[in-house]
Amino acid sequence: LTTHLLSLTPSHLHTATTHPFLLAAATSTLPPSILTTWLAQDRLYALSYPSFIGSILSSLPLPSHPSRSTSLEWRVADVLIDALANIRREIGMFEEVARQEGWEAEVCGGEVEEGTATRCYRDLFAGATGGAKGWVVGLVVLWATEECYLRAWKFAKSHCVAQKGEGDAGQDVMARVFIPNWSSEEFEGFVGRLRGLVDEVGVEEGGWVWRECERAWRQVVWIESIFWPDVE
């Protein structure tokens, strides 16, 4: 299934994961106002994750037999619990960076409003397991978001350049903190686990769930393409 989904919108996926914002992040040339806008939206995005993960967990039929730890459902639960731990750490990372750089008002202030893409993601998460979709479509949405993020930040990492101490304070935080976080072997391994579990489900090709997964993938790729702030 994942190979099929990745082949659906190759040009749109490429556009979403090679955005000019990522190049500016890699070269520490993001204007501080653009950087804080992204950070504020990514924090709000991350804050919507626990409820989303909870909705997948609540729709997951967990077995009770002694060998349950080897079942697909139990292993899905394991990776979802890891996802919750990851997002808790990342929310803390966002807020710590904001404190260190003096950006708390711009990033964590009560007047920060959701952008269009952040709101679209929240709406997608809210409906991902609704109706007959169940946990499978929700898992696909989770994998899709993380797959796009991994590709985007690996692209940024491939364009990182050594800094000479120039530029505005905080501009290098992308190369120091965020790019290493989402281009790491650990994160790539986590995304690989998600992909393996999605494929293991064995969704019937061409069936209703398959088509819902296609629809979810297209939504994620589109939202990801508009999530990055525009840069000059």
43 falls within a domain: yes
Q: Which residues form the domain of 19?
A: 2-227
* pLDDT score of 66: 77
Q: What pTM did the predictor assign?
A: 0.94
232 falls within a domain: no
Domains identified in the chain, total number: 1
Render pLDDT for 126-179 as a digit per residue (tens, 0 to 9): 999 988 788 999 999 999 999 999 999 999 999 997 655 555 556 799 999 999
8 falls within a domain: yes
44 falls within a domain: yes
Low-confidence spans in the chain with pLDDT less than 50:
none
| CATH number of the domain where residue 163 is located | 1.20.910.10
Q: Which of 4, 48, 8 is nearest to 227 (CA)?
A: 48
198 falls within a domain: yes
